[in-house]
Amino acid sequence: MSNEGKIYRVAGPVVTATGISPRMYDVVFVGNEKLMGEVIKIVGDYSIIQVYEDTSGVKPGEPVSNTGRPLVAELGPGLLHSVYDGIQRPLAVLQEKMGDFILRGVSAPGLDREKKWDFKPIVNKGDKVEPGQIIGTVMEGTMEHRILCPVDVEGTVDDIKTGSFTVEETVATIGGKDVMMMQRWPVRVPRPVKVKYQPNAPLVTGMRVLDTMFPLAKGGAAAIPGGFGTGKTVTQQQLAKWSDAEIVVYIGCGERGNEMTEVLTEFPALEDPKTGNPLMNRTILIANTSNMPVAAREASVYTGMTIAEYYRDMGYNVALMADSTSRWAEAMREISSRLEEMPGEEGYPAYLAGRLSEFYERACIATSLCGKDGSISVIGAVSPPGGDISEPVSQNTLRIVRVFWALDTKLRERRHFPTINWLTSYTLYDSQLKDWYVNNVDPGFPALKEWAMLTLQKESELQEIVQLVGSDALPDDQKVTLEVSKMIREIFLQQNAYDPVDTYCPMGRQFMMLKLIKKFSDLAQKALVAGATVDKIIAIPARQRFIRSKYEETIDDELVGIDKDFDEQFKELGA
């Protein structure tokens, strides 16, 4: 197999080489500056390479060398708190070497080779070890990093050490093979698990519209399509901060530089509400801005997913945010056109749906090889041009994912945040999660949610009549329905991410708030029958107290007080 060749043709990030005999997806170094690339097509003696760096000035005849290895992620202690580019080069290290602008042909290892980690073994000499088994632990900040036996190693522990080691030093010898704390894994190959199973618990986010109305199961996949300014990034930051996932992997895939700057400055400043430490202590950021080479953008989602799978294999619940898969698809489209492939719809490659499926299908809840249960929940933001979700990336994504959170520009204009439209969003996990809500929140929760959704749908129908004849023409019971749905929208669905109390709402409080709105609705209908006017019902003081309560630090006590006030004040109206 020949490892040395030369450049035959250059077309942007796509370079054709001759004289090497690589396998598909082998990593190669291109040109005099040794730019990193990956073989994506082989035609006879010609190897077509997508280069992860800018190819300006590269010319035919320059050397090409084949490494014989695929693109791999380095997995081990030191991943948390890191900021990488799309091919896992640590940006902080690159900045030290060359300043704010990354020069071509520069590489840096994904994990620090100098730092020593305190390794504590949990298996002994003479023990039998299976692939993927936990052989020891390292404290990575406040997280326990579980060192796993590589999947190609098994047998008897010949030797195992205790003490401080770098990621490249041998900590154990198993079945005659040396084992270190770092593993390398091909990013395009899913990591193996013992068994995958159906999700049965929600990813609790503290956002009422998500947890109650459109829950995402742990190990599931969701899409957030929305136009510019509808709040995709803020929603994903809320999910990163409050969801009950232990590890967060955030992939900024082809986002504008200023948006990525916001993420890079805000994430380190965010406080983890669970521990009080910086949120970055359990976060890995992959930053690949829109001015970076498109090929690295295409690789970034696979790099992020491989890191997420590594922590899942330790038995952790991981939330992976991909912002945005549209930019990823655009990178595929550009490379496909350079390869002169037959274009599909809107110029995207014919394999767009297959690539999206490959990515989202790696979300799962599973028992890993070490015997622990872990999950990866994927939240993919989609940025359709002009907010039109009929375009191919949105439509192909919706065929794959089971949760759709539709961001609405009209709600943004009305200052209703989060801008998730309750009439067009949906979740297909309801039946799987019903038992969890019954057992962990309240037996009446599913029926209460159904009532709320029906009320919002009735409001939508009544609004059409109101626009034709005005609200005064409606009968009193329908006027009350409009007021109740307004309470669901403004008290329950609206949530202020920047208010210290309203930013996170526990499941018990969500149930209590919705239960109180239902109680108001039932008592209002009884009061109407007893002869009370709609104006008097709307004007009861407890309703105003309820609207203010969600910003009060004593909100749980307030809700109990509002419950009593409803009974007393509606009794005066004859209910």
Residue 283 phi/psi, 5° resolution? Answer: -125, 145
The secondary structure of 6-17, three-state, reads: EEEEEECCEEEE
Instruction: Report the half-sphere exposure of 303 (CA within 13 A, side-chain side).
Output: 30
- Residue 18, classed as helix, strand or coil, is strand
- Residue 388, classed as helix, strand or coil, is coil
Rounded Cα gap, residues 217 and 397, in angstroms: 17
Tell how strand 283-288 and strand 83-84 pair up: parallel
Residue 542 CB contacts under 8 Å (≥ 6 apart), including other chains: 562, 565, 566, 569
Tell how strand 4-11 and strand 63-70 pair up: antiparallel
pLDDT tens-digit profile, the chain (575 residues): 468 999 999 998 999 999 999 999 999 999 999 999 999 999 999 999 999 888 889 999 999 999 999 999 999 999 998 999 888 989 888 888 777 777 777 788 999 999 999 999 999 999 999 999 999 999 998 889 999 999 999 999 999 999 999 999 999 999 999 999 999 999 999 999 999 999 999 999 999 999 999 999 999 999 998 777 788 878 887 888 888 899 999 998 877 777 777 777 777 777 777 777 777 888 899 988 777 777 888 889 999 999 999 999 999 999 999 988 888 998 899 889 988 889 989 999 999 999 999 999 999 999 999 999 999 999 999 988 877 888 999 999 999 999 999 998 889 889 898 999 999 999 999 999 999 999 999 999 999 999 999 999 999 999 888 888 887 888 999 999 999 999 999 999 999 988 989 999 999 999 999 999 999 999 999 999 998 999 999 999 999 999 999 999 999 999 999 999 999 999 998 76
Tell me how far CA of residue 276 lies from CA of 79, 240, 486, in angstroms. Answer: 20, 15, 36
Q: 336, exposed or middle or buried, with CB in 10 Å at 0-12, 13-18, 19+?
A: buried
Per 3-state DSSP, the chain is made up of helix, strand and coil in percentages (nearest 5) of 40, 25, 35
The secondary structure of 405-457, three-state, reads: CCECHHHHHCCCCCCECCCCCEECCHHHHHHHHHHHCCCCHHHHHHHHHHHHH
With beta carbons less than 8 A apart as the criterion, state whether 172 and 157 touch: yes
Q: 141, exposed or middle or buried, with CB in 10 Å at 0-12, 13-18, 19+?
A: middle
How high is the pLDDT of residue 15? 95
| The two three-digit tokens of residue 4, written as one number | 């040395």
| The two three-digit tokens of residue 73, written as one number | 């992620």
| The two three-digit tokens of residue 348, written as one number | 């995207």
Q: CA 322, 258, 268: angle at the middle one, nearest 5?
A: 65
Rounded Cα gap, residues 380 and 281, in angstroms: 22
How high is the pLDDT of residue 177? 93
Can the peptide bond before residue 324 be classed as cis, meaning omega within 30 degrees of 0? yes
With beta carbons less than 8 A apart as the criterion, state whether 277 and 347 touch: no
Scanning the structure block, which residue is given the tokens 């990488």? 84
Residue 24 phi/psi, 5° resolution? Answer: -60, 135
How high is the pLDDT of residue 144? 94
Scanning the structure block, which residue is given the tokens 């940006």? 91
Rounded Cα gap, residues 370 and 355, in angstroms: 29
With beta carbons less than 8 A apart as the criterion, state whether 324 and 260 touch: no
pTM of the model: 0.93
Rounded Cα gap, residues 36 and 26, in angstroms: 11
Rounded Cα gap, residues 474 and 494, in angstroms: 26
With beta carbons less than 8 A apart as the criterion, state whether 312 and 321 touch: no
| The two three-digit tokens of residue 186, written as one number | 């091909």
Q: CB count, 10 Å around CB of 315?
A: 18
With beta carbons less than 8 A apart as the criterion, state whether 211 and 204 touch: yes
Rounded Cα gap, residues 339 and 40, in angstroms: 10
Residue 400 CB contacts under 8 Å (≥ 6 apart), including other chains: 221, 353, 356, 357, 360, 361
Question: Domains in the chain, start-ordered, CATH in brackets?
Answer: 4-69 (2.40.30.20), 75-94+194-427 (3.40.50.300), 114-181 (2.40.50.100), 441-572 (1.10.1140.10)
How high is the pLDDT of residue 575? 67
